[in-house]
Amino acid sequence: MEMLNERTERVLYSVVRSYISTNEPVGSRFITKAYSFNLSPATIRNIMADLEEFGFLAQPHTSAGRVPTDRGYRFYVDYISKRREAEDGLLESFIARLEAAREDLGGLLEMAARTLSERSKYLGLAAPMKSGKTTLNRMELFSYRGNYVAVMLLTDEGLIKHKLIRMDQALSPRTLRRISEYLNQEFSGYTIDEIRFKLIREMSREKALCDILISKAVRICREALTFPAGDIYISGFSDFIGLPDFSDRIGQIAGAIEDKHFMLKLLEQVGSESEDAPSVVIGSENPVREMRDLSMVVSAFKRGGKTAGTVGVIGPTRMDYPKAMAMVHGIAKIITEALAR
Amino acid sequence: MEMLNERTERVLYSVVRSYISTNEPVGSRFITKAYSFNLSPATIRNIMADLEEFGFLAQPHTSAGRVPTDRGYRFYVDYISKRREAEDGLLESFIARLEAAREDLGGLLEMAARTLSERSKYLGLAAPMKSGKTTLNRMELFSYRGNYVAVMLLTDEGLIKHKLIRMDQALSPRTLRRISEYLNQEFSGYTIDEIRFKLIREMSREKALCDILISKAVRICREALTFPAGDIYISGFSDFIGLPDFSDRIGQIAGAIEDKHFMLKLLEQVGSESEDAPSVVIGSENPVREMRDLSMVVSAFKRGGKTAGTVGVIGPTRMDYPKAMAMVHGIAKIITEALAR
DNA sequence: CTTTAGCACTCAAACATCGAGAGTGCTAAA
DNA sequence: TTTAGCACTCTCGATGTTTGAGTGCTAAAG
């Protein structure tokens, strides 16, 4: 970046800013007027030519204005990150909703995704941490309609899951209670992944002991843990799809978004890098092909010092980064606080 | 319909059929060739002119071929309903999946929606009956992290819900057990709507009795029943959006689909009419404006003789009705059977 | 050495023109 | 009642033409 002097930076900044708001290639003349440089268009042209040479700008065709490249956006994001202005006031509505929201993490995250998308017109995302990493608090079993067992699974992180399991025969309340005691004693306090691992060992031991109760317990537990991985809240589909930026290839993008599994992986991947500030991935920086002309802004929220999940937005590369970053960061902070109380 | 003779009906049938598969206005000449009428194009033209006069066909512009109106589609649907061909073989994959599916209704319906959309390339829908109409089987309570109470709610229909409620102070296991006993004794076997009603009465009684335990029970129950109404599974968004039929107004349609509350109402409304055969709503017959150029095929599934929910597809008016009807009907039947076993 | 004015050049977008092709309606004959 | 024939209409794509925005380059001015 050291090859850019003060003035050049200002020009680049102006071009990106202008393109973000108008979505039109920006010309030298326009820059001089709109941003009151005391320079002639010709000078700006020279500067822009330099910027193009360095790969910050590009021309759709010879006689069009300039358009930022991904590298240009990257400069812009880093530039504004330095002097981050407090963009508050966007978040009260979320806080207000938070009070009304259901008390569990799911409700909270759904709300977060919705707020994010409503305020940004981009795609709002929120997901709890990978369920395997969550810590089991307790497991409750009860029989249901004869030979079914309903399992409710509570984690320390506030995640709740339920599952219905069919057994060969009905289990008496007493048996059920003993199974439940056994399971909680054995597995409470471990993460789901750890439990999965322990189960495997348990299974061989069980064979040796030939204990019919433990055998049942293990089976129930194993089934209860086979929920589909994808817990993710996505909101703002329609506004996002309606954006003019990708009026072609809508099908492709819609397909990618509908694949929750895929989205979750993406979110985790990007979010894991985020420490205090939100992490930003721009267009071609994105590891995944389908997302090559989209940008993401993602931030993690925590509980008890550990990452408990991620929130973020996805938008076109020409998205309003300052606003998106402020929102994502703000909401992550609010969730962290909400979880701490 | 009595104004149409045999031959005219055949022509209309052919036009609709052809338009559905090609999505191109169909001309007189094409009809004679493709469907081997022993008539000249001119004669077909006359017939088509009649059909246009009656409102079954329309021309996009004077020198284009004919296109079915909604009334034309309606004729077509009624026509094929008479001689419904067994369109089986599409459904094994669903049955296979069914076995692998989770045992509760939610998993089943998600699967159904997905199968429907994958096989039809339209939007697949599935929803359990309005939750208010379901019958409470049992309610289970346990304390969680001090002053929270986790509630698990099981209905006779196989619907499972959970909810986390924050209390002013922690409740002892003993208290909780007593509350739970009270609630189940009082409310098991009633529908959610009935329970809501009873709760109101209970609240005044409670005041009179000033029973602190009952007061807590009532509060918990009330909160537990305030889950958001919208339980609906939607699948195939991306294929549907990608359909050429509505490349404009995608935003509008996407918006309508994203509004689950709205979709649920729509599904219920249409599904309630369906008795044995699937009910079909075509374009302008649709009560809702946003859906005016979409068609729906919906069928209800049952449990114990009572409607337990609905499945359906939404597609363009020019959709493959025979296939859609066969699929929707078939899946509804399979679900009904699965629930009965 | 930097900035600027001027000018020639390029290209996309908007608009008009034109012919081909598909399809119709009407009329008159079979 | 059906059909052949014909004139007519309209869309669509191809082909110019014009316009305007924007550039790069050069040479002069600061």
Q: Would you say residue A252 lies in a domain?
A: yes
Joined together, the tokens standing for residue B18 give 């052809």
- Burial (Cβ within 10 Å: 0-12, 13-18, ≥19) of residue B143: middle
pLDDT in the model for residue B222: 82
Instruction: Decide if B251 and A242 are in contact by the 8 Å CB cutoff.
Output: yes
Q: How far apart are CA A130 and CA B178, in angstroms?
A: 36
A152 contacts chain B (CB < 8 A): yes
Q: How far apart are CA B331 and CA B233, in angstroms?
A: 14
Q: Would you say residue A87 lies in a domain?
A: no
| Boundary of a domain, candidates B178, B204, B224 | B224
* DSSP assignment of B257-299: HH-HHHHHHHHHHHHTT-SSSPEEEEGGGSSSGGGTTEEEEEE
Q: Where are the beta strands (DSSP E) in B4-108?
A: 57-58, 67-68
- Coil, strand, or helix at residue A288? coil
Same domain, B264 and B324: yes
Joined together, the tokens standing for residue B271 give 């599904």
pLDDT in the model for residue B84: 61
B76/C26 CA-to-C1' distance in Å = 30
Same domain, B41 and B120: no
Q: How far apart are CA A7 and CA A13, in angstroms?
A: 10
- Coil, strand, or helix at residue A165? strand
Strand D nucleotides below 7 A of a protein CB?
2-5, 8-11, 20-26
B255 contacts chain A (CB < 8 A): yes
Instruction: Decide if B144 and A164 are in contact by the 8 Å CB cutoff.
Output: no
pLDDT in tens, chain A (341 residues): 456 788 999 999 999 999 999 999 999 999 998 888 889 999 999 999 999 999 999 999 988 899 999 999 999 999 988 766 555 566 777 787 776 655 678 888 998 999 999 988 899 999 998 878 888 998 988 888 778 888 998 888 778 888 888 888 888 888 888 889 988 998 999 998 999 898 888 777 766 666 677 777 878 888 877 766 668 999 999 889 888 787 777 888 888 888 888 899 899 888 877 677 899 999 989 888 888 889 999 999 988 788 889 999 999 999 999 999 999 999 999 999 888 87
Same domain, A102 and A11: no
CB neighbourhood size of A40 (10 A): 12
- CB-based contacts of A205, cutoff 8 Å, min separation 6: none
CATH of the domain at B196: 3.30.390.60
Chain B residues in contact with A163 by the CB 8 A cut-off are 102, 104
Same domain, A213 and A238: no
B178 contacts chain A (CB < 8 A): no
Q: How far apart are CA B220 and CA A110, in angstroms?
A: 23
CATH of the domain at A285: 3.30.450.40
Q: How far apart are CA B124 and CA B319, in angstroms?
A: 13
Which chain A residue has the Cα nearest residue B163? A104
Same domain, B118 and B138: no
DSSP secondary structure letter of residue B195 = H
Same domain, B201 and B256: no
Same domain, B210 and B319: no
Q: Would you say residue A180 lies in a domain?
A: yes
CATH of the domain at B11: 1.10.10.10
First to last CA, chain B: 43
- Coil, strand, or helix at residue B229? coil
- What is the 3 state secondary structure string of A23-78? CCCECHHHHHHHCCCCCCHHHHHHHHHHHHHHCCEECCCCCCCEEECHHHHHHHHH
Q: Which nucleotide is nearest to B41 (CA to C1')?
A: D3
Q: Would you say residue B44 lies in a domain?
A: yes
| Boundary of a domain, candidates A82, A101, A116 | A82
Our CA dihedral for B188, B190, B193, B195, rounded to 10 degrees, sits at: -50
Instruction: Decide if A164 and B255 are in contact by the 8 Å CB cutoff.
Output: no
B63/D8 CA-to-C1' distance in Å = 10
| Boundary of a domain, candidates B50, B82, B114 | B82
Cβ-defined contacts of B47-55 (< 8 Å, 24+)? B47/B7, B47/B8, B47/B11, B48/B11, B48/B15, B50/B8, B51/B8, B51/B11, B51/B12, B51/B15, B54/B3, B54/B4
How many structural domains are present in chain B?
Answer: 3
B166 contacts chain A (CB < 8 A): yes
Same domain, A168 and A36: no
Helix extents (H) in A152-210: 173-187, 192-209
Q: Which domain holds residue B163?
A: 132-224
Same domain, A161 and A124: no
Joined together, the tokens standing for residue A255 give 């397909």
Joined together, the tokens standing for residue A37 give 């440089």
Q: Mean pLDDT in runs of 10 for chain B (341 residues)?
A: 78 93 92 88 93 93 91 92 63 72 76 92 92 86 84 84 83 88 90 88 70 77 74 90 78 87 89 81 86 91 86 94 92 88 70
pLDDT in the model for residue B246: 76
Q: Would you say residue B160 lies in a domain?
A: yes
* DSSP assignment of B85-100: ----SSSHHHHHHHHH
pLDDT in the model for residue B1: 46
A104 contacts chain B (CB < 8 A): yes
Q: Would you say residue B87 lies in a domain?
A: no
- Burial (Cβ within 10 Å: 0-12, 13-18, ≥19) of residue A285: middle
Same domain, B254 and B220: no
Q: Would you say residue A275 lies in a domain?
A: yes
Same domain, A23 and A171: no
A173 contacts chain B (CB < 8 A): no
Joined together, the tokens standing for residue A324 give 């998106």
A4/C3 CA-to-C1' distance in Å = 19
CA-to-CA dists, residue A89 to A141, A199, A225, A301, B220, angstroms: 45, 49, 41, 20, 35
B63/C17 CA-to-C1' distance in Å = 21
- CB-based contacts of B89, cutoff 8 Å, min separation 6: none
B181 contacts chain A (CB < 8 A): no
Same domain, A213 and A243: no
Q: Where are the beta strands (DSSP E) in chain A?
A: 57-58, 67-68, 123-128, 136-144, 148-155, 160-166, 233-235, 279-282, 294-303, 306-316
A62/C9 CA-to-C1' distance in Å = 10
Provide the shortest C-alpha distance from residue A251 to chain B (in Å).
5
Most B CBs within 10 A among A138, A145, A239, A241, hence the mutation to make, goes to A241
pLDDT in the model for residue A1: 45
From the list A104, A144, A251, the residue facing B154 with the nearest CB is A144
From the list B156, B238, B258, the residue facing A255 with the nearest CB is B238
pLDDT in the model for residue A85: 57
Instruction: Decide if B251 and A237 are in contact by the 8 Å CB cutoff.
Output: no
